[in-house]
Amino acid sequence: MAGETAAGRTGDVGSPASDDAAESALSLAAIRAQFPLLSRTIHGRPLVYLDNAATTQKPAAVLHAVDAYYRESNANVHRGLHFLSEAASAAYEGAREEVCRFLNARSAAEIVFTRGTTEAVNLVAQSWGRRHLGPGDAVLLSTFEHHSNLVPWQMICEECGAALRVIPLTGEGELDLEAVPRLLDGSVRLVAVAHVSNALGALLPVREVVALAHERNIPVLVDGAQAVPHLQVDVQDLGCDFYAFSGHTVDGPTGIGVLYGRGERLEAMPPWQGGGEMIRSVRFEGSTYAAPPHRFEAGTPNIGGAVGLAAALRFLGGLPHAAMARHEQGLLNQAARRLAAIPGVSLIGGTAPRIGALSFVLDGVHPHDLGTFLDQEGVAIRAGHHCAQPLLHSLGLTATARASVAVYNTAAEITALTEGVERARRFFAG
């Protein structure tokens, strides 16, 4: 499916080259050397960082860009006439241009900076939702959603008298995409779906969902927090109306994220927060508002964060994408193969392609205990509900262990994970 494979629009997910071949094609040692934190030890062991879906480590290019911004260009944006304010404004708006290129949006005016994916979804729910949702209306989500693309819709639906509708799972634990045409009846006003599930790493066929929704004139919001780090996302190719992602899962700083909104959509939306930066004129009798994207950026923005995000996107954009995708896919395949061979381990998730993450459980061992055991070996994974409680509930689970990869991970680190799980199995078996 164009725009949605791990290797991007021009590559293939296919079977990976050997781990060694993929690693040397990427100059993995040189990539790792750019992430200072990767060289530290944890509990006396070399760090094996496999919690990248929660947040990635940051390359020196990002650390340097943020440091240089605060050392050399720090000032408030947009209002100042002095040199530094102009430099800060140029850096901030330059970062917006960088995001625009990265997502292949038509214009930088379609890029709104937010605190992250969560705030981007809340922006659409509060601004678009309050204007378009009413009694009898529905918002269609998938069972895979992170709480960030669920609770904001619950809140606005409750306020407006609208309802949530959910694409269910099949008996095999797959998303039941055949149910989508039936679910998209006359009451659905918006579809909001993840591009990649954070809990399972499952890729959703977002373009197909967009096509089905658009046939019925229903706009679509895509939560791309787990897709942008791994796929070459092209919002024009996907055709979605809104696309949200966070800086910190894509090698950038925390506290900065993006809402892409198709120009016509943003133009027609009211502000959701009031304050400085978002106005055209203010009188006690009433105010008029700036055009997008500034209409949606009340108050002093996270200028340093935007600068860091732009550096992260440049860094990621500078890597050979097909080799990176093949490498990450190879790591996940290696992990899946070796974990599945451990007695008592079950991999969670159906047959959808896995992107970036893999979830599993070990019989008789709570995922939290497994996570703590691995931590003692320097291996960082995540254990819990992954902010996807309804999904885990639908699968009859309360928690899983999740390993998630980034380009800097190695085959040796996957071996450390799987050997650690095998040791945990023996340890807890007593």
| Choice from 52, 73, 226, 232 touching ligand PLP (CB under 6 A) | 226
Rounded Cα distance between 194 and 395, Å, is 18
Find the shortest distance in angstroms from Cβ 55 to ligand PLP: 8
Question: If you write DSSP's letter for every residue of 379-404 in order, what string do you get?
Answer: EE-EEE-TT-HHHHHHTT-S-EEEEE
Please say whether the dihedral angle defined by the alpha carbons of residues 149, 98, 52 and 66, taken in this order, is positive or negative.
negative
| Choice from 148, 302, 334, 400 touching ligand PLP (CB under 6 A) | 148
Q: Which is nearer to ligand PLP, 143 or 149 (CB)?
A: 149
Which residue, 178, 166, 223, is CA-closest to 394?
A: 166
Q: Which is nearer to ligand PLP, 355 or 416 (CB)?
A: 355
Which residue, 283, 279, 310, is CA-closest to 296?
A: 279
Element spanning 190, H or E: strand 188-194
Find the shortest distance in angstroms from Cβ 43 to ligand PLP: 25
| Choice from 246, 404, 409, 418 touching ligand PLP (CB under 6 A) | 246
Only segment of 63-71, 79-87, 112-120, 337-345 that touches ligand PLP (CB under 6 A) = 112-120
Largest CA distance in the chain: 74
Residue 85 region by backbone torsions, left for phi larger than 0, else alpha for psi between -120 and 50, else beta: alpha
Q: Which is nearer to ligand PLP, 250 or 365 (CB)?
A: 250
Find the shortest distance in angstroms from Cβ 79 to ligand PLP: 28
Dihedral (C-alpha) 28, 117, 53, 196: value to the nearest 10 degrees?
A: -100
What are the distances in angstroms from CA 309 to CA 127, 237, 254, 282? Answer: 25, 23, 9, 32
- The whole-angstrom distance between residue 226's C-alpha and the CA centroid of its chain comes to 3
225 binds ligand PLP (CB under 6 A): yes
Q: List Cβ neighbours of 25 (8 Å cut-off, separation of 6 or more).
A: 17, 320, 323, 326, 327
Residues touching ligand PLP, count (CB under 6 A): 16
Segments of 266-326 assigned E as strands = 279-283, 286-289
Q: List Cβ neighbours of 23 (8 Å cut-off, separation of 6 or more).
A: 327, 410, 411
Q: Which is nearer to ligand PLP, 88 or 258 (CB)?
A: 258
Q: Which is nearer to ligand PLP, 187 or 394 (CB)?
A: 394
359 binds ligand PLP (CB under 6 A): no
198 binds ligand PLP (CB under 6 A): yes
Residue 76 DSSP class: -
Interface mask toward ligand PLP for 166-195; x: CB under 6 A: ----------------------------x-
Only segment of 2-10, 161-169, 221-229, 234-242 that touches ligand PLP (CB under 6 A) = 221-229
Two tokens, residue 25: 């094609």
406 binds ligand PLP (CB under 6 A): no
Find the shortest distance in angstroms from Cβ 4 to ligand PLP: 15
Measured at the CA of 248, the angle between CA 244 and CA 250, to 5 degrees, comes to: 75
Which residue, 422, 362, 412, 313, is CA-closest to 56?
A: 313
Find the shortest distance in angstroms from Cβ 115 to ligand PLP: 7
SS3 371: helix
Only segment of 177-185, 241-249, 261-269, 362-370 that touches ligand PLP (CB under 6 A) = 241-249
Element spanning 358, H or E: strand 357-362
Q: What single letter denotes the amino acid at residue 248?
A: H
Residue of 100, 157, 160, 387 marked active site: 387
Is 387 an annotated catalytic residue?
yes
HSE-up of residue 354 (Cα within 13 Å, Cβ side): 27
Find the shortest distance in angstroms from Cβ 375 to ligand PLP: 20
118 binds ligand PLP (CB under 6 A): yes
Q: Which is nearer to ligand PLP, 116 or 367 (CB)?
A: 116
Task: Give the strand pairing for 379-380 and 48-49.
Answer: parallel
Only segment of 10-18, 72-80, 220-228, 306-314 that touches ligand PLP (CB under 6 A) = 220-228
Q: Which is nearer to ligand PLP, 51 or 377 (CB)?
A: 51
116 binds ligand PLP (CB under 6 A): yes
Q: Which is nearer to ligand PLP, 141 or 424 (CB)?
A: 141
277 to 316, contacts with ligand PLP by CB under 6 A?
Answer: none
| Choice from 4, 110, 137, 223 touching ligand PLP (CB under 6 A) | 223
66 binds ligand PLP (CB under 6 A): no
Tell me which residues are annotated as active site.
Answer: 387
Which residues contribute to the site for ligand PLP (CB under 6 A)? 53, 116-118, 146, 148-149, 194, 198, 223, 225-226, 246, 248-249, 257
